[in-house]
Amino acid sequence: MATTQIRPASEELEELEEVWEDDPGIPGFFSTVDHKRIGKRYIYTCFIFFFVGGLIALAMRVQLATPNSTFLSADSYNELFTVHGTTMIFLFNTPVLAGFGNYLLPMMIGTRDMAFPRLNAFSYWVFVFAGIFFFSSFLIGSPPDGGWFAYTPLTTKPFSPGFNLDFWGLGVAFVGISTTVGAINFIVTTFKLRAPGMSLNRLPVYVWSMLVFSFMVIFAVPAVTVAAGLLELDRIFGTAFFAPGAGGSTLLYQHLFWFWGHPEVYILFVPATGMISMIIPVFSRRPIAGYLWIVTALVAIGFMSFGVWVHHMFATGMPALALSFFAAVSLLIAVPSGVQFFAWIATMWHGAVRFTTPMLFAIGFLLIFLLGGITGVMVAVLPFDWQATDSYFIVAHFHYVLNGAVVFPIFGALYFWLPKITGRMLNERLGRVSFWTMFVGFNVTFFPMHILGFLGMPRRVYTYSSGLGWDTLNLLISVGAFVFALGVLLTLINFVVSQRRGERAPDNPWNADSLEWATTSPPPDFNFEAIPVVASRHPLWDQQPLPVADSGPDDATQGFGFAGAHDHTTPITGGLRSVPEGTMRIPEPTVLPCVLAFGLAVFVVGLLAQALIVGVAGLVIGAVGLVWWAWRTGEH
């Protein structure tokens, strides 16, 4: 029975490829349900939004480089900082993490696709349509201008009469559907499709982080959907949720928004730390120190992140008891983050560190996160927060966390996993130059902002007069921003060049331990011809040769081997130890998800334009798509 082999015979592979192939050409583009194509598309689309958001930031830095500048008008400045923040949070950070999860998670747990491949396509299309919808506000000349958290009453109809804020409110509610659907998919995939033997204590830390990410999304996103939804009801239909004159409450909006908004910070941070926990051990050539501690810390962060939202509202005059509680939790949440931090240091301390580009980004992340974490503890202290709130100190703090501690891991992840995804190595030397440029640029940009905050510069001002002591620092910051942008550009060049001339990536270029490295680079459509049988937390380090399961005779085991792949199926497992339970048919390519997302988009446009016929048309497209989908689903 036990035959050792490196690759299946080529006729076998050809047969499988035929079964798993997408339709060719443009129909294939709209109908694919392959988690890898979708994940890749997610990542690339997100980076387009990242570049746009970055260019907007550069425009703002040009404006602020000198006092009394007239490069931008006050109104355009308001629009740009709103669009910058909204884009980076809703259209880059959150979805790019979902994109990596889409691509990597099924391979890491040793399966052939997500639990709901069509929903996966749906969440991508919703994200794309929401992004297009949001940016189409520029076409009619009224981008959102109420800040990325759109506080009422400024954003209610009497004070913001144009379409501007409607693009924000409807766009945010719309893109929330995508995030939620993705999270449901990650949870079920992790619970039901793990390779046999991959018990919860053998899950890669990254998979744990995506699980915590998903649970946070499930319980946090509804709050922002309700906040944006009620805001739009006020704006479009004239309800009175946030109208103080009719019994509404502006504070209510802040509670709803931040009940999502603070978990959101950890929704972004947790998967980023998950990436770091994959990169550091591989380049320290040893298993991660304190696996159990790290996982416990991730779960603890998930819970605690729901008890800190009021620290965004310390200056709103709430009762002292409430403030004290939220200040205490905000201080306490630094503990699990600290646990992770020491585990990473311990891993490197006891390992043999190789300073490759992904590792440089990971170490850069550690330094930046240290500073962002410390300023986070500072602003959790009430009297300090009252001084620093709405100043550049806060701008510095959250860029250290959201740009430094999330974007640096994402770049590390690019250098780490792109060889697997594209089959081409990135240039190592250019990668290092890119890292150092970004690292220096980042700190030159954001560190002086702390000082500017102490010097009293408020956030969101479009200009300032000379003689306040802010001139030099602002110029320095603007220079830093361009250096940072240059570093990003170098990685883009690196990527483009590698696609044309890059060295071919071997299956496991870093000698990593998790299952995604057991397939070819790039992986075949079916990921694994036969599903690995896991007996270790580090299968590729401890299990040589890697056992893969043959197909059995019954329904619970027929999905494992070549026969299972040939039937377009993947095994279902269950229980803590991941025991075979059944076989799941992976759906054929279909345009339904795209049609349904399009229907929703039409509905949202109808709401925006207050055109009944358009709204109804969107609902009809959506309903027909949904019924058709439901009709074809669950043939068992």
Partner 1 sequence: MTVTAPTMTETVVVAPPQARTRGRSIGWWGMVVLIATEATIFIALLSTYFFLRASSPTWPPDGIKPPDLGNIAIFSVVLIGSSIPIFWAEAGNRSGDQRRLRAGLLLGFLMGASFLAYQGYEYSHLDFRWTDNAYSSIFYATTGLHGLHVLVGLLMSLVVQAKAWSRKLSADHHVSMEVFSLYWHFVDGVWLFVFTSLYLTAHLR
φ and ψ at residue 574, rounded to 5 degrees: -160, 175
Q: How far is the CB of 110 from partner 1 (least distance, A)?
A: 12
Dist. CA 106–CA 542, nearest whole Å: 21
Dist. CA 123–CA 218, nearest whole Å: 14
237 or 465: CB nearest partner 1 = 237
Q: How far is the CB of 253 from partner 1 (least distance, A)?
A: 10
478 or 557: CB nearest partner 1 = 557
Residue pair 122/208 in contact by the 8 Å Cβ criterion: no
H or E segment and range at residue 573? strand 569-574
- Quick check: helix, strand or coil at residue 353? coil
Dist. CA 197–CA 561, nearest whole Å: 16
Residue pair 405/369 in contact by the 8 Å Cβ criterion: yes
407 or 425: CB nearest partner 1 = 425
Q: How far is the CB of 187 from partner 1 (least distance, A)?
A: 5
470 or 517: CB nearest partner 1 = 517
Q: How far is the CB of 631 from partner 1 (least distance, A)?
A: 6
258 or 470: CB nearest partner 1 = 258
H or E segment and range at residue 585? strand 579-585
Dist. CA 356–CA 343, nearest whole Å: 20
Burial of 306 (0-12, 13-18, 19+ CB in 10 A): middle
589 or 622: CB nearest partner 1 = 622
221 or 313: CB nearest partner 1 = 221
Integer CA distances (angstroms), 65 to 58, 449, 460, 474, 477, in order: 10, 13, 14, 5, 8
238 or 469: CB nearest partner 1 = 238
- Quick check: helix, strand or coil at residue 424? strand
51 or 306: CB nearest partner 1 = 306
Q: How far is the CB of 45 from partner 1 (least distance, A)?
A: 24
Dist. CA 361–CA 355, nearest whole Å: 10
Burial of 271 (0-12, 13-18, 19+ CB in 10 A): buried
Q: How far is the CB of 183 from partner 1 (least distance, A)?
A: 8
Q: How far is the CB of 327 from partner 1 (least distance, A)?
A: 21
Residue pair 56/83 in contact by the 8 Å Cβ criterion: yes
Q: How far is the CB of 310 from partner 1 (least distance, A)?
A: 14
Residue pair 108/206 in contact by the 8 Å Cβ criterion: yes
Q: How far is the CB of 421 from partner 1 (least distance, A)?
A: 17
Q: How far is the CB of 616 from partner 1 (least distance, A)?
A: 14
Q: How far is the CB of 429 from partner 1 (least distance, A)?
A: 9
63 or 527: CB nearest partner 1 = 527
Query: How many Å is the maximal CA-CA distance in the chain?
Result: 82
Handedness of CA 354, 358, 359, 361 (dihedral sign): positive
Alpha carbon 203 to chain centroid distance? 20
227 or 477: CB nearest partner 1 = 227
Q: How far is the CB of 36 from partner 1 (least distance, A)?
A: 18
479 or 497: CB nearest partner 1 = 497
Dist. CA 455–CA 123, nearest whole Å: 44
Integer CA distances (angstroms), 434 to 100, 265, 297, 360, 437, in order: 21, 26, 32, 10, 5
Dist. CA 311–CA 324, nearest whole Å: 10
Residue pair 530/565 in contact by the 8 Å Cβ criterion: yes
